[in-house]
Chain A
């Protein structure tokens, strides 16, 4: 990533910190914004937040590792999330996940070598009527069967 963009991103994060620093319990909000800006929370960003918010970096790291939505590693171009909620599981989400894993050659939580897909197994997305469900970015695919997987992946 180019140096200039990084500087702009840190400047944007600084604005967020200035805005939220004085409101009670705002660390998580700052980190959520930081993840929106950078896409993930590398150690430099965690240090920056810790300095800006006046808390030890251990606290920032502690929060980052507690919640599954914070990522310490960069994500792929597309994030593929397959719902493993009960309704989806009962309707065969595991078989769909197995097929995705074999098609992409990665396990849950990992990113493909070409950086195109990150595969996540998520908690219930609340579209149980469409089970089993997977999402790629904002796009939702419902009633998926394993044989749909190659066709869906080919669109990206």
Chain B
């Protein structure tokens, strides 16, 4: 057997692939071959390492040297210095903004220190297109254990004791869900996986599918055995081509190995999994709509009951879980429910993956124990807010969730606490906003999204959200009226009570929560016709501070519409004609003295 002395792990997730990680791999492989090192150094294309902001990322073992922002041109130096001479390339090592010392190894980096990786444990560690690597990391051991040692009741009991709750948003206890799907007697049952990750800003499911697809397949097979189903469907977004490809490869390899298909591991248990691609409809992430879409129809939701556990896909009892939920299950079986329940808070056990985005230094994926505070996530792990700006709010739960203001930064994050402060866990997108973001504009953004994605079946959602959007539009355009805030609140409460499905019932949340925490911003828009953050263009005015202005005239030359006039020699001060100004902000960016501000 060949002895591999070094492993070069290169991230092949969507983020890093977009910044040329595939070209880096190709160059690396070509160079290694040229230098005759290709049988002692192995290049592995892995799943996501999480720290997308620093991509493309490369980690070289055994040193665990953590290189960031690697360019194709850097590959030669890495090969010559690190792989041939054994000298770590210092200039490419990941640097933390606030830390003086450079870290060589991955586990010393602040971003990873506080993380516990359960759902993401294999992401960035194994080659997701090679089933042997998954098996080497205890893959399919849980399935074997379940098929040979446990009854379906045992599996349900283990899940109940683990305290695992659905990671898709609502947090329904997983063990109970499996029990409900196990009980009905039927000639056919189905196991479905919700990989229609539609919440903008959430990409943990994509990373699990890209980095560790077999974990999901294994858990679905365990689910099939538990509830008595022999067919599974994964409903995945067509927007995730890498995930779709790797799932296809994983299913094929698992079948070849006899870990899916007929008579799995010689136990007589049969289970198949097929992929179904979404076609761009957010509402299909709702469970009843998702199943309607798998049936090949318009993905409209329908009222519950009947619940899917009784009458789901093709009218048969169906179990539906989300990707991250499944990814936890093989390890709960292997390590035991007590291990899982030892992490987290009283009512929310285990870990949760969050996608950090927006105005935060370390954008990317983090997995932390439930109960970690928002402050730890944003400042200790996320590296704080770039540019020395002030934190304003964090948005969780996407278009169904709400904003968390600075006052709640120290709340331990779990399902129940988030609901108590007017937001929700959702799938785990966490978007950070700073002082430059207008909360009315953000509320409008989310409502614009839900109006567009409303399927139109029930009037509260179809008509109600549209009326709310119209009100928000007029507030942002400076035509807000006294009483608009109260009108939004009444409409919002009524839509929450009367809409048919989860999409409509939660659509008003971003508006209600921003009104709750940032009412003063709404009032400034309506009463003073002023946007405090300077985002709403119709309410924004650019002015030149004459005390700071050096009369260089750069702003005047930069202005695309000739709205800025003045003359240094003649002593005429530079001013902006607000009738001509299109509020593009080019002058503000051009000014070297910071003399132009938004009012």
Chain B nearest Cβ from A98, distance in angstroms: 9
B279 and A89 contact, CB distance less than 8 A: no
Interface residues of B in 536-559 (CB under 8 A from A): none
B280 and A127 contact, CB distance less than 8 A: no
Total contacting residues, chain B, CB less than 8 A: 52
Chain A nearest Cβ from B241, distance in angstroms: 9
A62 to chain B: which residues have CB within 8 Å? 298
A130→B238 CA distance, assembly (Å): 20
| A-B contacts at CB below 8 angstroms, number | 129
A63 to chain B: which residues have CB within 8 Å? 296-298
B298 and A66 contact, CB distance less than 8 A: yes
Q: Given known contacts A86-B445, A126-B203, what 20 new A-B pairs fall within 8 Å (CB)?
A: A25-B294, A32-B238, A67-B299, A84-B200, A85-B201, A86-B200, A86-B429, A90-B359, A123-B198, A124-B199, A124-B202, A124-B203, A124-B239, A125-B14, A127-B52, A129-B51, A129-B55, A129-B363, A140-B18, A142-B19
Closest to A59 in B: B297
21 A-B pairs with CB atoms under 8 Å apart are A25-B294, A63-B296, A66-B299, A66-B300, A68-B280, A68-B281, A70-B279, A84-B200, A87-B431, A90-B357, A90-B433, A90-B437, A123-B198, A124-B199, A128-B203, A129-B363, A130-B18, A131-B357, A133-B18, A142-B18, A142-B19
A28 within 8 A of B: yes
B14 and A127 contact, CB distance less than 8 A: yes
A90→B435 CA distance, assembly (Å): 11
B314 and A24 contact, CB distance less than 8 A: yes
A87→B429 CA distance, assembly (Å): 9
B523 to chain A: which residues have CB within 8 Å? none
B431 and A25 contact, CB distance less than 8 A: no
B53 within 8 A of A: yes
Assess A32 versus B355: contact at CB under 8 Å? Given A124-B201, A128-B201. no
Closest to B298 in A: A66
Interface residues of A in 26-69 (CB under 8 A from B): 26-29, 31-32, 59, 62-63, 66-69
3 pairs of A and B residues whose beta carbons are closest in the complex: A129-B52, A87-B357, A85-B200
Question: Within the complex, which residue of B53, B206, B295, B395 is in contact with A24, where a contact is CB–CB below 8 Å?
Answer: B295
B364 within 8 A of A: yes
Closest to A70 in B: B279
B431 to chain A: which residues have CB within 8 Å? 86-87, 90
A128 to chain B: which residues have CB within 8 Å? 15, 52, 201, 203, 355, 357, 363
B279 to chain A: which residues have CB within 8 Å? 28, 31-32, 67-70
A32 to chain B: which residues have CB within 8 Å? 238, 277, 279
